[in-house]
Amino acid sequence: MKQNFLSSRWYGRLLNLLVNLAYRKGVSLDQNEGLTLQTLYEKVWAESTLAEKTVIDQLLQKWSEQKRYEEEQRIPISDQENKKQQEKGANDVVAILRQGKRLDLLVQEVDFSAQEEILIASQKKAKSRKRIIYSGFIAAIILAFVIYNLPYFKEKRLYHTVMEERTIEVCHNYYEQFPKGQHYEDVMFLEMDLSSNTVNLLMNYLKRFPNGKYNKEVNNRLDALWDIEISKYEQRDKTKESPKAVKYMTEMLHYMKRNRINTILLDVNSDISLKDFEEYDEDVKEFLYSWYRDEKLPLEGNLLSLKENFTEQDRGSLMQILADGVQKSFNKMFSEDLVSVVTSSLEAAKGSPILSFNYVIKNRSDEHVSQLPNIWTYGQDGTPEAYILAIDVKFNAKFSIPGSDITYEYSEVGEPGNEITDIEDVKDGYRQMTQVCFAKFSDKMAENLGLEEIYFKGE
């Protein structure tokens, strides 16, 4: 397509043709009715002949195609050039109508306005009053359309709608249409009054407008919210908590309040260190074979391989158990959006507190003799079918706050206990055992921090 025949010229032709046809056919163009190009098109279309409809549609197609081409090619068009091209398009229509030519000529890339200027220059200066009024009317209509569709006035109208309707939905509509809008700050402030969970809104406002006109009020609101939540923590049930953990937790909450941080980074490092029965010392194996010799099901020949049945766990899902546990524990104590537990540094705010976990999945040793592996009986419907090596998970946790020497560290060995049901096979059993170890550790961690555990205590 020719770059000098811009979409705005096709738009000028289309708009002026519709206005002229409306004028000829007596179609009402009352601006108070909220007239748009779409409504004008529909009104004129209903009164037009088949030939007129064909030209209208062809102009509409030309405009759309050229506009899409300009956007794809990123052709810069200034407001001044845009207005100039629209006027040329309008003059093309005036030239065709004045000379009594066929309307279908308007779909050609011919500079009718230039021809009209030459023709007008050769004529007498005087024009009829009717022509002056008519041209003025057309110019007024075109100007109204141009002004109506300017981004500034579009934003003004939508902002007026936001302030009238005062709903979260219309606020989000404004954000989508005008991400850099003049009234973005005011709309965000309005949404704070409409939303029940405001912490993220308040935090996002301070990030977007660090020197905003509502900063003082937003900071006061955040301080008030944090004070309420910290007060909840101070009035909690204190029967099972760890004093060191609570000292850390209290400092962490005040740190997050001071620094306007509402994310906690969960950092998890894993290791799986398992061995099969054949890898134990010979004297250990002989002792256990002898110990189980008088059982209905001897150990020798009936001990399943641990490594073959313990497929490496989805480490991401195990980490998520910890993340969910921390998040749910925080949610039981605090408002839902006060603290977000994240597992990626990209999601964490700068300076976020860090909860670090190192864990090792390993063989479980006998309660009395550390060199002996702990052995479980595997069966169905109460009938033993085989033996399997027990496992447990050793956790080492360290919680820290950037710039502070107040930390909290503790270790825990998780074992599944009796909370495993409906096992489909040995692999499923090991998988459930591991997940229960993580869930129980999450509960213990929440208990130490003075929060409420969530997995094995009713939701």
Q: Contact at 8 Å (CB) between 354 and 392?
A: no
pLDDT at 120 > cutoff 50: yes
Q: Contact at 8 Å (CB) between 193 and 167?
A: no
Tell me the mean pLDDT in the region 65-79: 82
The CB density around residue 230, as the number of other CB atoms within 10 Å, is: 16
Beta bridge partners, 389, equal 375
- Model pTM score: 0.58
Distance CA 292, CA 405 (A): 53
pLDDT at 97 > cutoff 80: yes
Distance CA 56, CA 29 (A): 18
Q: Contact at 8 Å (CB) between 29 and 22?
A: yes
Amino acid 135: pLDDT: 57
Considering only residues 224 and 130, tell me which one the structure prediction assigns the higher pLDDT.
224
Identity of residue 344: S
Amino acid 137: pLDDT: 55
Closest CA to 362 of 284, 307, 286: 307
The CB density around residue 269, as the number of other CB atoms within 10 Å, is: 12
pLDDT tens, residue by residue, 259-297:
999 899 989 888 888 999 999 999 999 999 999 988 888
Identity of residue 237: D
pLDDT tens, residue by residue, 208-221:
999 999 999 999 99
Amino acid 118: pLDDT: 60
Identity of residue 288: L
Q: Contact at 8 Å (CB) between 450 and 245?
A: yes
**Per-residue DSSP letters for 98-144?**
HTT--GGGGGS---HHHHHHHHHHHS-S---HHHHHHHHHHHHHHHH
> First vs last Cα of the chain: how many Å apart?
65
Q: Contact at 8 Å (CB) between 187 and 326?
A: no
Amino acid 454: pLDDT: 52
Distance CA 323, CA 320 (A): 5
Of 42-51, 166-175, 189-198, 382-391, highest mean pLDDT: 166-175
Amino acid 134: pLDDT: 56
CA distances in angstroms from 95 to 110, 250, 295, 383, listed in the order given: 11, 80, 109, 99
Closest CA to 40 of 134, 154, 160, 149: 149
Tell me the mean pLDDT in the region 193-214: 88
Q: Contact at 8 Å (CB) between 385 and 436?
A: no
Residue 303's SS3 state is strand
Distance CA 243, CA 25 (A): 86
Distance CA 300, CA 289 (A): 6
In this predicted structure, which of 207-221, 308-322, 430-444 has the lowest mean pLDDT? Answer: 308-322
Residue with tokens 């391989």: 305
- What's the mean per-residue pLDDT of the chain? 81
Closest CA to 416 of 395, 390, 398: 390
Parallel, antiparallel, or unpaired: how do β-strands 340-342 and 263-273 relate? parallel
CA distances in angstroms from 157 to 148, 165, 175, 183, 189, listed in the order given: 10, 12, 14, 11, 18
Q: Residue 93 is encoded by which pair of tokens?
A: 């229509």
Q: Residue 117 is encoded by which pair of tokens?
A: 């200027």
